[in-house]
Structure 1
Amino acid sequence: MRIEIDEEKCIGAGQCVMSAPETFDQRDEDGVAFLIEDSPTPDRQAQVREAVTLCPAAAITVVEDQS
């Protein structure tokens, strides 16, 4: 699994950070989300999927590995 954030879509709601704080954080200056890790370990993938679902701007995309 690989994660992408569309910074243009992000509205800084912070749902991703609350759902998966080991994977997402927000910039102090504007609240836009950024990735701490773009390929989470298997034990964190459920949290990431929840963050995708909760994102009000649909700014997070999960790209599944093709292996």
Structure 2
Amino acid sequence: MQVSVDRDRCCSSGLCVMNAPAVFDQDDRDSLVMVRQIVLLPAQFDEVRLAAELCPGRAITVTGDEPARTGA
């Protein structure tokens, strides 16, 4: 899985940082999203998916996503 961001779509809500702080940060100058880690570890997949889903500006793109896990 890889992640990218479109800073032009970012509205600085900070939800990405709250949900995946190892992967995302906010720029000190303009508070826009920054990616700290491009290639993700499997343990980070769920939190990055959630951050992308919750992003109000739809600024986060996830590619090479593994199929969602099924079952309880």
Normalised by the shorter chain, which TM-score bucket?
A: over 0.9
Q: TM-score, normalised by structure 1?
A: 0.93
Match of 2:18 in 1: 18
Q: TM-score, normalised by structure 2?
A: 0.87
Amino acid across the alignment from 1:15: L
Match of 2:46 in 1: 46
Report how far residue 29 of structure 1 moved: 1.1
Q: Distance in 2 between matches of 1:11 and 1:31?
A: 9
Note the residue ranges of structure 1 that are not aligned, 5 or more in a row: none
Runs of 4+ in 1 over 2 A off after TM superposition: none
Report how far residue 40 of structure 1 moved: 1.1
Figure out how many residues of one structure are paired with residues of the other and give that number.
Answer: 65
Please identify the structure whose Cα radius of gyration is greater: 2
Report how far residue 34 of structure 1 moved: 0.6
Percent identity among equivalent residues?
40
Name the SS of the counterpart of 2:16 in structure 1: helix
Q: How large is the Cα RMSD of the aligned pairs?
A: 0.9
